[in-house]
Amino acid sequence: MCRPRLILLFALCCFLHSISAQNPCSSLDAGPFLGTKPTLTMRVYEASQTDLEQYPDSDNYKDELRLTGSIGGPAPTGITLEVMNDFRLFDPREVFEFQTEAVTGKNLLKLVKAVDRDGPTDALDDDVNMFTFTLKCSPVANTSIEVYYDVRIQVMDVNDNFPRFVGAPYSATINELTPVGSTILRVSAVDIDSPVTSNVTYSIVPANVDDGSSMFSIDSINGDVTVTAMLDYEALSQGHAYNLELMATDGDVDGPKSAKVTAIVTVTDGDDQGPAFEFEGCFRHKGVCAWPKYTSYASQMKLAEPITVYPVPNKVGQPVSIKARDLDPSMSEVKFSIASTIPPGFESHFSVATSHASGAFYAASVKQETALTVSEGFEIFLKVEETSNHMRHEIAMIYFMGQNKGGSSGSQSTQKTASGTDSQVGDPGKSPISTGGTSEETLALIVVVAILAAFVVCLTIAFFCYISRRRDTKGSKYIHESRQTTGGQRNGISSTQM
């Protein structure tokens, strides 16, 4: 039953509106009506003064004012417009103009002064994205008629701002032992354009020459910078820092804007290297002396005095001091000790003192502390160990030659052993080691050999004496018999002759 009445009411409204739409100051639209007054809704894009001067007729900076009548025109269609003082913040009269387009007869709202929609911060509450005010319209033909409208002019965003990093410049100091996956830094950038375009994402700009950018990654959403590979303090050049070029890009799919910033990540030393010996001319692996070896001469060894060593190969032609350092620059203290000997078991006959040499280097002074006679082939394995908890170490070999025939001190020497007896060292061909504790056995052996030799000599002498006496006895008998024989013959001869 109600349906015919509703249809009739709707038709009446349309009829009244069609009649009123033809009246000056009437709205060309049926609604929507907000509050108590009809609403006129328009929109323009934000613009700089340069934009307006370059593109004064751009559709971006104007919109239709959908009112009947000719603004400033004569009766009966002429209308006058007045902006009421209920605007907020900015006076619309300074920013917009109302005019009737000559060709089309359309009423227009035009932006005539620069409007920055975005406000000074990325917060939404300082955005100038809406002008609201009351507009009064009166027909020129009857100025007593006043029609009021709520005007809402929406200012549309243009992506005219670059992201801006907050809190820059960025830096972080991390140890080279920082585990992979650790977050070392968080960066943040804001974009004061509308949320659609200010949705900033982050990335690391890859360098043409890898400067460490591959060692880190950044979370594209929250800006967390994370370690992705083991760092190496020692491999870093001077400064021990990575310069990461970070980029923030806004969310404008058509024409994104980006900003870059450099984050300096300084790496500090960690204990990840062991010690190494060092001498000129050594065989190097990755810049470090590998399989370090020295020679010494048994003939030059003196009790309680530092042994003299020569590097292998000997590029310097003279003795050197044994030096080593921890390859971690900040963990530079090392300590030397005797690891072992060949033949084994003679470690306690030697001592080694550690002293600071220069810079990161420490020197070892190896001494023979108790009587020990060494010769060619004897070896000392010298250990250098870092004083950190990891206790990494390196071993160097000291190989003993016999006599130093071409060296600076080639003469064979004698030394005072711990037992106080003089003993000769460096006799090639003998066992590489003999100690003072075996001298009694040697002496006993010598005595036995001497007694045996004396006994043999005595026997020999006795034998020769016996032989000699036998010869003497036989010789006398022969001579006696010969004389007798000779006398008979003489007699016989004489008889014959007679």
Site residues for Ca ion per CB under 5 A: 118, 157-161, 191, 193, 197, 233, 250, 257, 269-273, 326, 328, 331, 386
Nearest residue (CB) to Ca ion, 253 versus 479: 253
Number of other CB atoms surrounding residue 287 within 10 Å? 9
Alpha-carbon torsion angle 266, 270, 274, 277, nearest 10: 50
**Residue in the block written with tokens 């809406």:** 130
Cα(236)–Cα(240) distance, integer angstroms: 5
- Helical (H) or strand (E) element with 315: none
Query: What is the identity of the amino acid at 454?
Result: A
The beta strands (E) that lie in 387-446 are given as 393-401, 414-416, 422-424, 433-434
Nearest residue (CB) to Ca ion, 63 versus 127: 127
Taking the complex as a whole, the smallest distance from the CB of residue 433 to Ca ion amounts, in Å, to 35
The answer to whether residues 386 and 393 touch, using CB atoms and an 8 Å cutoff, is yes
Nearest residue (CB) to Ca ion, 229 versus 448: 229
Taking the complex as a whole, the smallest distance from the CB of residue 202 to Ca ion amounts, in Å, to 15
Nearest residue (CB) to Ca ion, 379 versus 386: 386
Q: 3-state class of 320 per DSSP? A: strand
- What 46-51 contacts at long range (C-beta under 8 Å, 24+ apart), as own/partner pairs, is 46/115, 46/116, 46/117, 46/118, 46/128, 46/155, 46/156, 46/157, 46/158, 46/160, 47/111, 47/114, 47/115, 47/158, 48/114, 48/116, 48/160, 49/113, 49/114, 51/114
Taking the complex as a whole, the smallest distance from the CB of residue 435 to Ca ion amounts, in Å, to 37
Nearest residue (CB) to Ca ion, 45 versus 98: 45
Taking the complex as a whole, the smallest distance from the CB of residue 326 to Ca ion amounts, in Å, to 4
Taking the complex as a whole, the smallest distance from the CB of residue 122 to Ca ion amounts, in Å, to 10
Cis peptide before 343 (omega within 30 of 0): yes
The number of residues in the chain equals 498
Query: What is the identity of the amino acid at 276?
Result: A
Taking the complex as a whole, the smallest distance from the CB of residue 248 to Ca ion amounts, in Å, to 10
Taking the complex as a whole, the smallest distance from the CB of residue 308 to Ca ion amounts, in Å, to 29
- List CB contacts of 494: < 8 A, sequence separation 6 or more: none
Taking the complex as a whole, the smallest distance from the CB of residue 327 to Ca ion amounts, in Å, to 6
- Cα dist from 196 to 24, 157, 191, 441, whole Å: 40, 9, 10, 100
Nearest residue (CB) to Ca ion, 273 versus 417: 273
Nearest residue (CB) to Ca ion, 4 versus 287: 287
Nearest residue (CB) to Ca ion, 150 versus 193: 193
Nearest residue (CB) to Ca ion, 273 versus 341: 273
Taking the complex as a whole, the smallest distance from the CB of residue 130 to Ca ion amounts, in Å, to 14
Cα(174)–Cα(192) distance, integer angstroms: 33
Nearest residue (CB) to Ca ion, 285 versus 469: 285
Taking the complex as a whole, the smallest distance from the CB of residue 253 to Ca ion amounts, in Å, to 12
Taking the complex as a whole, the smallest distance from the CB of residue 410 to Ca ion amounts, in Å, to 41
Of residues 250, 183, 257, the one with CA closest to residue 223 = 183
**Can you count the helices (H) and strands (E) in the chain?**
4, 33
Nearest residue (CB) to Ca ion, 131 versus 378: 131
The answer to whether residues 128 and 44 touch, using CB atoms and an 8 Å cutoff, is no
